[in-house]
Amino acid sequence: MTKQETWAHINATESITELLFSLWERWQDEKDYEDIQDYLQVIQKSLPNAYKITKRPFGIAVKCTDGNNILFFISMLSLN
């Protein structure tokens, strides 16, 4: 998917944004003992072109076919 198609997919699929926020909340409780890569594997089931996950800030990198990549971060500011 291109960058535009990927953003449209994320925005149109409420379950993806809900999943990302849910995993962020879970990560806040489990970051001391869970492997962050396990979270990426869960995300890739809904967003297969996600290729990287970061702990601080919690976020994902998504590869797009047009050469553009998306960095999607979740923070407390996102929740307000």
Contact 32, 19 (CB under 8 A): no
- Domain extent at residue 41: 3-79
pLDDT digits (tens, 9 = 90+) for 17-75: 889 989 999 999 999 999 999 999 999 999 999 999 999 889 999 999 998 888 888 86
Count: domains in the chain: 1
User: Would you tell me the crossing angle of helices 3-12 and 14-30 to the nearest 10 degrees?
Assistant: 80
pLDDT digits (tens, 9 = 90+) for 67-77: 888 888 886 65
- pTM for this prediction: 0.83
